[in-house]
Amino acid sequence: MAKKKAAVKVMGVDVGGSGIKGGIVDLRIGELITERHRIKTPKPATPKAVAGVVSELVDHFSWKGQVGVAIPTIVRRGFVHSAANIDKSWVGENAEKRFSKALSRPVRVLNDADAAGLAELHYGTAAEYATDGVAILLTFGTGIGSAIFVDGQLLPNSELGHLQLQGDDAEHWASAKAREDEKLSWKAWAARVTKYLAHLEFLFSPDVFIIGGGVSRQSADFFPYLKSSARIIAAELENRAGVVGAAWYAAQEGAL
Ligand code: BGC
């Protein structure tokens, strides 16, 4: 029997602290072929409420095909093992089962920063830098997400946003949300990020940092202030990376 042809168009969903975004991705080019539709993250963001919004997004596109979902938690073989910026009731949840049931089809789930990293690796600038040596992608948003690549292989669920810095989780001090909450200038915030990068550099000796998350759209405002002996590049897919990476992952075999 002929092998089933891999899907070319897959829907990706990125669950964030403030918004849940979705769109249909053409995996041949790693680009959205629809708008990126956004619905506010429900409060509290329980598994049931989030699954409801994901289902709304699927309905918005009248999408009948495959779906991948990226969530801001540790995800091991479909199960959630942490919940920093999402309702605590996610811990222990079988997320793949939850979304598969809500959407009446098999759904694959992975960590949001890993999704962004995989998208950058397969379709973005990182393709050039992350396939040889050590690369760390960081997403700055409500929290700080991380994806570590060694010679193009992902070490899943790295959670570098929770490293201790200034006596607290680094993400409480250096995320994009911290910049907004504390009304920091780009320069002042970049000084914090530089300190964070220095800590990561000491621990992992990366060749390159890829700076992602919503802020990567404004890289011109803060890149001039960032310093590191590792190369620093802006993520190319900007705020589409989570959606594209989730779609890419849904089309793969094997689980993270
Ligand atoms: C979570 C990570 C997530 C990151 C970005 C952190 O608080 O622990 O799993 O990747 O936020 O959303």
Residue pLDDT, tens place only, 139-198 = 999 999 999 999 999 999 999 999 999 899 999 999 999 999 999 999 999 999 999 999
1 lies in some domain: no
Instruction: Provide the domain count of the chain.
Output: 2
Residues 142 and 231 in one domain: yes
Residues 95 and 144 in one domain: no
Residues 190 and 107 in one domain: no
Are the C-beta atoms of residues 219 and 189 closer than 8 Å to each other? no
Q: What is the span of the domain harbouring residue 26?
A: 9-111
Bond before 44 cis per omega within 30 degrees: yes
What does the pLDDT read at residue 2? Answer: 53
Residues 75 and 107 in one domain: yes
Average confidence score pLDDT of the chain: 95
98 lies in some domain: yes
Residue pLDDT, tens place only, 198-209 = 999 999 999 999
Please determine, for residue 5, whether its predicted confidence score (pLDDT) is greater than 70: no
Residue pLDDT, tens place only, 87-116 = 999 999 999 999 999 999 999 999 999 999
Q: Is 145 in the pocket of ligand 1 (CB under 6 A)?
A: yes
- In the chain, what are the helix, strand and coil shares in percent, each to the nearest 5? 40, 25, 35
Residue pLDDT, tens place only, 25-61 = 999 999 999 999 999 999 999 999 999 999 999 999 9
What does the pLDDT read at residue 41? Answer: 97
Q: How far apart are CA 18 and CA 103, in angstroms?
A: 22
* H, E, C per residue of 184-240: CCHHHHHHHHHHHHHHHHHHHCCCEEEEECHHHHHHHHHHHHCCCCCEEEECCCHHH
Residue 7 bridge partners (DSSP): none
Residues 79 and 175 in one domain: no
Q: Which atom of ligand 1 is nearest to the CA of 82?
A: 8
Pocket test for ligand 1, best of 85, 139, 148 (most atoms within 8 A of CB): 85
Pocket test for ligand 1, best of 15, 50, 75, 112 (most atoms within 8 A of CB): 112
245 lies in some domain: no
Q: Which amino acid is at 193?
A: V
Q: Is 72 in the pocket of ligand 1 (CB under 6 A)?
A: yes
Q: Is 84 in the pocket of ligand 1 (CB under 6 A)?
A: yes
Q: 92: burial class by Cβ within 10 Å (0-12, 13-18, 19+)?
A: exposed
119 lies in some domain: no
Residues 168 and 227 in one domain: yes
Please determine, for residue 3, whether its predicted confidence score (pLDDT) is greater than 80: no
Residues 169 and 96 in one domain: no
pLDDT confidence bin for 134, thresholds 50/70/90: very high
Give the CATH number of the domain where residue 166 resides: 3.30.420.40
Residues 135 and 221 in one domain: yes
